């Protein structure tokens, strides 16, 4: 039996992902491909360049997020441009200003990776509009799919459908192809690719799953991949059915979307089964704009009528739920005076302002002194540029033994109360790790946490 070649599988995946969007390959004039420089996207670029009919124009886009060391992150984009030029594929390069990802992370109270993704997709949409690209191919593969489902299981998510083969104008031709097939193809074609050094570091959940959990499953649990695939397929089918019921339910509850809020008839809402109520709340939360993942425990409480009537209003992850006179409101939580997210990149000595703090920075690389409100702190091992910012979701700080501790737990232990968002965090720039050097608690009368290398 003849095995399909890698490029035949990519073509099959391309046709399938387009058909999922109700489009055939013959209908396309221009297709884009997002290329980071890694093996997945490089294989997709090269395969598409070989398999697309001459009637279809292929265009590439690469985004430099500037969240790693300059020589590494710029090197990735340089390599993509060089390869595209050798293939005669037009390439558009976008540069995200250094520090902007971290700044957006603080402002939106999201993790670094989530903020980077949002900015990246903004560039993708700009690219598609400017270059008249009808569909953009993304390089998610079957390993990514399995890791995503495992992540959602560990996070307690109700959606185990995984990464969709298409979403609007974004399509994923590699979603049924394993990473080893990608690497074999590149090896056979003698095509090089860039490796993100942070893929080997385990601060992020996906990396821990990829580097720790998956090898254990491979070694001790034969058939786990097939089981995850079946679970995902069942979840997708259940979701399709429930989404149909959701559309009907939204009409029945007089669901109304406003700028950053949603209102609906609470009495009718509470008459539905919990599975439908969950989906109504998630639909509303998505529109209102949660700052981070909403805990399932919070959603579950607000599917119970007695709890909602007793509580009346409650917030989580930047979202406020309110039940008043039978009207259920889901809205973006209004910022209170104590929530003062701030962010500044300090590139050299001088005087700066961030949040309520005007501070002076002196010294040189490896030993920096910061003064504010007659308080002073010295941080050894710190280099310019560095970030002076407020806390953000997922922040972790090194213990003396090299293990990591949640910044939020440290602040809770200090009993800082409503000063949580005012206490400065001092962090190295040029690394996606939670490489925090100092928590300046003494500025407000608490302890300091200084990481000594």
What digits encode the pLDDT tens for the residues 367-409?
A: 899 999 888 999 988 888 888 998 887 788 888 887 888 898 8
Given this model, what pLDDT does residue 434 score? 57
| SS3 readout for 60-78 | EEEEECCCCCHHHHHHHHH
Banded pLDDT at 430 (limits 50, 70, 90)? low
User: What are the tokens at 152?
Assistant: 């959602």
Residue 88, pLDDT > 70, answer yes
Given this model, what pLDDT does residue 343 score? 84
Nearest one of 404, 391, 408, 421 to 110, comparing CA atoms: 391
Given this model, what pLDDT does residue 337 score? 41
Residue 115, pLDDT > 80, answer yes
Residue 421, pLDDT > 90, answer no
Banded pLDDT at 298 (limits 50, 70, 90)? confident
Which tens digits make up the pLDDT trace of 153-167? 987 777 788 999 999
Domain boundaries, the chain: 6-220, 249-332, 343-450
In degrees and rounded to multiples of 5, residue 404 shows phi and psi of: -110, 145
Q: What is the mean pLDDT of residues 116-138?
A: 95
Q: How many angstroms separate the CA atoms of 221 and 189, rounded? A: 33
Banded pLDDT at 338 (limits 50, 70, 90)? very low
Given this model, what pLDDT does residue 433 score? 52
Which tens digits make up the pLDDT trace of 357-372? 789 999 887 889 999 9
- The strand pairing partners of 329, in sequence order, are 263, 322
Q: What is the mean pLDDT of residues 420-435?
A: 77
Q: How many angstroms separate the CA atoms of 339 and 342, rounded? A: 10
Which tens digits make up the pLDDT trace of 10-59? 999 999 999 998 999 999 999 999 999 999 999 999 999 999 999 999 99
Instruction: List Cβ neighbours of 19 (8 Å cut-off, separation of 6 or more).
Output: none
Integer distance in angstroms from the first to the last C-alpha of the chain? Answer: 58
Given this model, what pLDDT does residue 394 score? 74
| Domain 6-220, CATH | 3.40.50.620
CB atoms within 10 A of CB 438: 24
Q: Which of 247-256, 314-323, 422-431 has the highest mean pLDDT?
A: 247-256
Q: What is the mean pLDDT of residues 278-294?
A: 85
Given this model, what pLDDT does residue 340 score? 60
Banded pLDDT at 316 (limits 50, 70, 90)? confident
Residue 268, pLDDT > 80, answer yes
């Amino acid at each position: 039996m003849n095995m399909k070649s890698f490029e035949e599988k990519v073509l099959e995946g391309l046709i399938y992902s387009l058909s999922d969007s109700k489009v055939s390959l013959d209908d396309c004039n221009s297709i884009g491909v997002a290329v980071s420089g890694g093996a997945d996207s490089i294989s997709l670029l090269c395969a598409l360049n070989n398999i697309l009919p001459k009637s279809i124009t292929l265009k590439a886009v690469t985004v430099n997020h500037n969240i790693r060391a300059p020589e590494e992150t710029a090197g990735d984009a340089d390599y993509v441009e060089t390869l595209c030029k050798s293939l005669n594929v037009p390439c558009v390069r976008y540069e995200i200003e250094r520090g902007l990802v971290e700044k957006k992370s603080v402002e939106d109270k999201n993790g670094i990776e989530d903020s980077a993704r949002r900015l990246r997709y903004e560039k993708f949409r700009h690219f598609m509009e400017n270059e008249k690209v009808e569909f953009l191919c993304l390089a998610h593969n079957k390993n990514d799919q399995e890791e995503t489902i495992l992540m959602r299981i560990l996070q307690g998510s109700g959606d185990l459908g995984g990464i969709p083969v298409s979403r609007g104008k974004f399509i994923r031709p590699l979603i049924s192809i394993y990473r080893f097939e990608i690497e074999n193809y590149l090896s056979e074609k003698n095509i090089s690719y860039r490796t993100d050094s942070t893929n080997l570091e385990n601060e992020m959940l996906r990396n821990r799953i990829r580097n720790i959990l998956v090898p254990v499953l491979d070694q001790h649990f034969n058939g786990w991949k097939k089981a995850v695939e079946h679970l995902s397929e069942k979840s997708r089918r259940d979701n399709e059915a429930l989404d149909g019921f959701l559309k009907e339910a939204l009409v029945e509850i007089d669901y109304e979307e406003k700028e950053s809020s949603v209102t609906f008839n609470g009495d009718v809402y509470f008459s539905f089964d919990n599975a439908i109520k969950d989906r109504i709340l998630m639909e509303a939360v998505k529109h209102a704009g949660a700052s981070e993942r909403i805990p399932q425990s919070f959603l579950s409480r607000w599917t119970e009528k007695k709890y909602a009537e007793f509580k009346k209003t409650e917030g989580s992850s930047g979202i406020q739920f309110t039940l008043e006179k039978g009207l259920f409101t889901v809205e973006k939580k209004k910022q209170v005076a104590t929530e003062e997210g701030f962010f500044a990149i300090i590139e050299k000595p001088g005087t700066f302002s961030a949040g309520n703090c005007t501070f002076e920075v002196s010294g040189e690389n490896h030993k920096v002194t910061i003064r504010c409100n007659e308080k002073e702190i010295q941080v050894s091992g710190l280099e310019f540029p560095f970030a002076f910012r407020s806390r953000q979701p997922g922040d972790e700080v090194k213990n003396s033994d090299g293990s990591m501790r949640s910044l939020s737990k440290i602040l809770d232990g200090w009993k800082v109360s409503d000063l949580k968002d005012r206490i400065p965090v001092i962090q190295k720039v040029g690394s996606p790790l939670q490489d925090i050097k100092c928590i300046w608690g003494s500025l407000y009368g608490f302890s300091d946490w200084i990481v000594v290398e």
